[in-house]
């Protein structure tokens, strides 16, 4: 029987970065709304053109100003900081060149420049805005040939526009940070889900394939002796294979059905097939059924694989479980299975101890605080 190809939607239930809410926010930040606001600032050069006498030099300066402004907005869109500031400086020069012809109305051009610069000057932005507003009010009044009073209308438009643009720029920054944070959450969730699948597949298949190997060896010896019991062992191998397939599907789908009672029953058969005397509990009560089931599964799998033991015992209480054998012992971490089990115990707020006994044997003990 082959393993069906799993549905990609079920593999870890990982979110789609490209189609999630982060992508919507990014499209909002960098989409047509921002373009509309950038183009909207061109209303101020249009106001200047409508207020002053049309001269070729004025039209040329205003066209150059608009072109330079759009280039600066594009540079900011592409996060080309150095080019943006060079273009902003060029806008200042064009404003100064147009001011003798446009006079007080030319300060509408200053609104565009300050609106570009202030949101990108978090420390000096308020000072720049104050100086620009003061210049907008005082310069038209202080230049007698212009025959103009204080530029209150230009100053009000300046302050209002800069505050609006600054608020929008802050929203852009917040949305960008939100997009980055969501992408990081998605990445961490994907990493955690991959680790879960890897851990579950190791634990599930490690136990099942060990049992299949032991029972297959036993069936081979029985067949060699001509014993009819070999048919029963082969039948159990088939059942274990089917169970392993179901476990893989369950792990990939994110649903795990590991119970202490079921693992004790499987473990008793596994130890019997391996020729190891089993001393296992006949009951399985308590609040930590799934966690203790994983402990039994990993512990007995390691006994059969590594211990070369003649007996194995499991001691169970409401808050702890211990797997002990009389084998050859070994290092404190014989494989990645114990590492995965240690993660499970840590997630449950418990403590795990594993290591060799003296003079021989191995002990795996997990304890969890009583929730009561």
Distance CA 189, CA 126 (A): 41
Q: Which residue has the tokens 């909002």?
A: 28
Report CA torsion sign: 65, 69, 75, 78.
negative
- List the domain boundaries for the chain: 31-150, 193-368
Contacts of 178 (CB under 8 A, 6+ apart): 22, 25
- Per-residue pLDDT, 123: 75
* Per-residue pLDDT tens over the stretch 72-96: 888 887 888 899 899 989 999 998 8
Q: What is the pLDDT of residue 186?
A: 65
Supply the pTM of this predicted model.
Answer: 0.45
Q: What is the pLDDT of residue 90?
A: 92
pLDDT, mean of residues 13-35: 48
Q: Considering only residues 74 and 8, tell me which one the structure prediction assigns the higher pLDDT.
A: 74
| CA separation for the pair 109, 282 (Å, rounded) | 87
Is residue 211's pLDDT more than 60?
A: yes
How sure is the predictor about 22, in pLDDT bands with cuts at 50, 70 and 90? very low
Per-residue pLDDT tens over the stretch 235-248: 776 677 667 666 66
Could you report the per-residue pLDDT of 146-172, keeping only the tens digit for each? 767 788 888 888 888 888 888 877 777
Lowest mean pLDDT among 23-27, 132-136, 185-189, 272-276: 23-27
Class of the CATH domain delimited by 193-368: alpha beta
Query: 129 pairs with which residues across the strands?
Result: none
Picking from 32, 9, 115, the residue whose alpha carbon sits closest to that of residue 72 is 115
Compute the average pLDDT of residues 308-332. Answer: 85
**H helices within 41-151, ranges in order?**
43-51, 56-77, 81-102, 107-117, 125-142
Count of C-beta atoms within a 10 Å radius of residue 128:
15
Taking alpha carbons only, the member of 245, 242, 243 closest to residue 263 is: 243
Residue 11 has pLDDT above 60, yes or no: no
DSSP state letter for 123: T
Residues 6+ away with beta carbon under 8 Å from 309:
276, 303, 325, 326, 327, 328, 361, 362
299, exposed or middle or buried, with CB in 10 Å at 0-12, 13-18, 19+?
buried
Nearest to 169 by CA among 107, 117, 109: 117
């Amino acid at each position: 029987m082959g393993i069906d190809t799993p549905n990609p939607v079920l593999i870890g239930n990982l979110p789609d970065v490209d189609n999630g809410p982060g992508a919507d926010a990014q499209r909002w930040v960098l989409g047509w709304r921002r373009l509309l606001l950038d183009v909207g600032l061109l209303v101020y050069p249009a106001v200047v053109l409508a207020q002053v006498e049309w001269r070729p030099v004025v039209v040329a300066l205003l066209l150059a100003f608009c072109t330079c402004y759009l280039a600066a907005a594009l540079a900011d869109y592409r996060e080309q900081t150095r080019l943006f500031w060079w273009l902003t400086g060029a806008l200042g020069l064009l404003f100064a060149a147009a001011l003798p012809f446009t006079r007080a109305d030319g300060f509408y051009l200053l609104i565009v420049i300050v609106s570009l610069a202030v949101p990108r000057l978090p420390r000096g932005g308020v000072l720049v805005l104050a100086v620009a507003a003061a210049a907008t009010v005082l310069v038209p009044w202080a230049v007698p040939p212009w025959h103009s009073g204080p530029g209150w209308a230009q100053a009000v438009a300046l302050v209002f526009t800069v505050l609006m643009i600054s608020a929008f720029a802050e929203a852009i920054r917040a949305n960008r940070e939100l997009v980055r944070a969501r992408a990081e959450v998605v990445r961490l969730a994907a990493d955690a889900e991959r680790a879960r699948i890897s851990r579950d597949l190791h634990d599930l298949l490690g136990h099942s394939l060990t049992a299949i190997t032991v029972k297959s060896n036993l069936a081979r010896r029985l067949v060699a002796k001509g014993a009819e019991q070999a048919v029963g062992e082969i039948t159990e191998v088939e059942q274990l294979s089917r169970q392993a397939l179901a476990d893989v599907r369950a792990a990939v789908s994110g649903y795990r059905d590991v119970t202490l009672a079921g693992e004790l029953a499987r473990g008793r058969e596994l130890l019997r097939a391996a020729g190891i005397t089993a001393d296992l509990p006949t009951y399985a009560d308590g609040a930590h059924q799934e966690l203790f089931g994983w402990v039994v599964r990993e512990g007995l799998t390691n006994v059969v694989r590594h211990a070369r033991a003649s007996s194995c015992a499991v001691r169970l209480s409401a808050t702890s479980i211990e797997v002990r054998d009389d084998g050859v012992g070994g290092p404190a971490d014989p494989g990645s299975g114990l590492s995965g089990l240690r993660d499970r115990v840590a997630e449950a707020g418990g403590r795990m101890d594993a290591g060799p006994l003296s003079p021989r044997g191995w002990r795996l003990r997990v304890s969890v605080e009583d929730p009561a």
